[in-house]
Amino acid sequence: MARNTVVGVFESSAQAEQARDALVRAGFERSSVRVTSNEAATATAGSSTVASSASGSHSEHEGLGERISHFFSSLFGNDEHRNDATHYTDAVRSGRSVVTVDARTDDEAERAADILDEHGVVDIQQGAQTQQGGQTQQTGWAGSSAPAGTASSRDINNAGLGEREQVIPVVQEELQVGKRRRERGGVRIYTHAEQEQVQENVRLRDEHARVERRPVDRPATQADLAAFKEGTIEVRETIEEPVVAKQARVVEEVVVGKEVTERTETVRDSVMNGQVEVERLNTSDATGSTQRASGTFDQYDADYRKDWQTRYASSGGRYEDYQPAYQYGSTLASDERYRNRSWTEIEPDARRDWETRHPGSAWEKFKASAQHGWERVTGRR
């Protein structure tokens, strides 16, 4: 067997082919993915789909059932997993198809198992044969299947040592808070010039020429004769005019900038917190059947159906619609967090948990069913 081989059982060869195509699209080599089925084996009549892919030492003339048995015996290898080889052989003989994937690492094996789960693998344990009273009894090949994604729906053989692990991921969400910058406003500064009328008073001086004639009658003197000469005399007149000049002066400054302040803001949101509930089962009784621990859902199923008949049947709907609520109440009864507490005390927590697990499913509609399941198991009814 390869270092990591993942095996998945499907109801039909069409489903198995779809799963193989999905694995190839996810990056697995087509040669590492094999589909084994009665239908494929019959069509190819001894092709590598079944026996020859595991071992070339078997006769070409051996029966179809023997080739299938040899294939799975070679795949699982040791005596410890002889029952597993038998289970898968019976699955193929009953009309189912088996997909095997050779993975190079544990992570690759997990990824292959997840892809097989997504495409509807069936629960191999439900199809196993059990021995009771010396007789072989078929317990599950008539169409029973486990929902995709359950741990029992896939088998992983690690490093060829025969150790089988069933991995259930517990997922939690973490709140990651970042920052982004957005505009919220600001200021815009406009500059422009306005004309304003101003006035100033100024004193101006004007000079005017004045000519005055005065009549006289006296004898001319020698000085008068000397002063009188031919010529021209000019007297200039002047006036003062206002002269206007402008000088720019800075009278105010407008300073534009940014002031940075910081603040602390609390961010609140809800995150998913995965929970895994473990239920312990009792060992097999004298008849070989396995009983669930006392106080579990199956033990009270008949009582829950009767309560549904009384409470809801007249308004329509199915019991299966309310079955998850009865089962949810049963699990609350075995939860250590709620031990020795009344329904009134635990209901707020139960509501939050229910709405997280069943978004869109109104608590008020199913609350009575959950309470009935809790009271029935705790004995407080």
C-alpha angle 293/170/123, rounded to 5°?
55
CB contact at 8 A, 363 and 355: yes
What is the predicted pLDDT for the residue at 88? Answer: 72
How big is the chain by its Cα radius of gyration, in Å? 51
What is the predicted pLDDT for the residue at 294? Answer: 42
The pTM is what?
Answer: 0.31
CB contact at 8 A, 23 and 30: no
Q: How far is CA 134 from CA 59, 91, 122, 188, in A?
A: 33, 22, 27, 95
Enter the DSSP assignment of 364. H
CB contact at 8 A, 325 and 331: no
What is the predicted pLDDT for the residue at 149? Answer: 33
What is the predicted pLDDT for the residue at 297? Answer: 66
What is the predicted pLDDT for the residue at 73? Answer: 65
What is the predicted pLDDT for the residue at 1? Answer: 41
Closest to 318 measured CA to CA, from 329, 305, 327: 305
Query: How far apart are the C-alpha atoms of 138 and 159, rounded to whole Å?
Result: 31
Cβ neighbours of residue 108 closer than 8 Å, sequence gap 6 or more: 4, 28
CB contact at 8 A, 169 and 151: no
Cβ neighbours of residue 161 closer than 8 Å, sequence gap 6 or more: none
pLDDT in tens, the chain (381 residues): 445 788 888 888 888 899 999 999 999 999 999 888 765 444 443 333 333 344 344 444 445 556 666 666 666 655 555 666 677 777 777 778 888 898 888 888 999 999 988 988 887 655 444 333 333 333 333 333 333 333 333 444 443 434 457 788 888 888 888 888 888 888 888 888 888 888 999 899 999 888 889 899 889 888 888 877 777 888 889 999 999 888 899 989 999 888 889 989 898 888 877 777 665 554 333 333 333 334 456 778 888 888 888 888 888 778 888 889 888 888 888 888 888 888 888 899 989 999 888 888 889 888 898 888 888 888 776
Q: Are strands 97-103 and 4-10 parallel, antiparallel or unpaired?
A: antiparallel
